[in-house]
Amino acid sequence: MIMRIENAPYVKAVMGGNEYAIQNSPKNVAAAIYKANVTQQNISILTPDNVTIVSTFGPFLDRCTDLDYTNKKLIPELTAMQTLQQPVPQVKLYRNNGINKDKGMNR
């Protein structure tokens, strides 16, 4: 059975050839996408069982497989950050090789 994003405690964020685990919340995922764009990197967000939820190409959302999640939860958070209506929180990235190496993602 494929895991739905709402049921996952964390999601995978793949960028720059590295895979990280991040806490699963629309605000946290939006912040990771926002910050990847600021550093000019593409990012893919996947469930723990490797199903792509959303990916970016440059500043654009590219592949969105869960439109309900993307439209109702992710885009409102991401738009608020992009229009500076809300601050962009720090995202903690954990290397996904046992999730033991912590790297903060600052603005």
Q: List pLDDT tens digits, range 5-24.
A: 888 889 999 998 899 999 99
Q: How large is the average pLDDT for residues 68-82?
A: 95
Q: pLDDT category, 100, cuts 50, 70, 90? A: very low
| pLDDT score at 26 | 94
Domain edges within the chain: 5-105
Widest Cα–Cα separation across the chain: 39
Is the pLDDT confidence value at 103 over 80? Answer: no
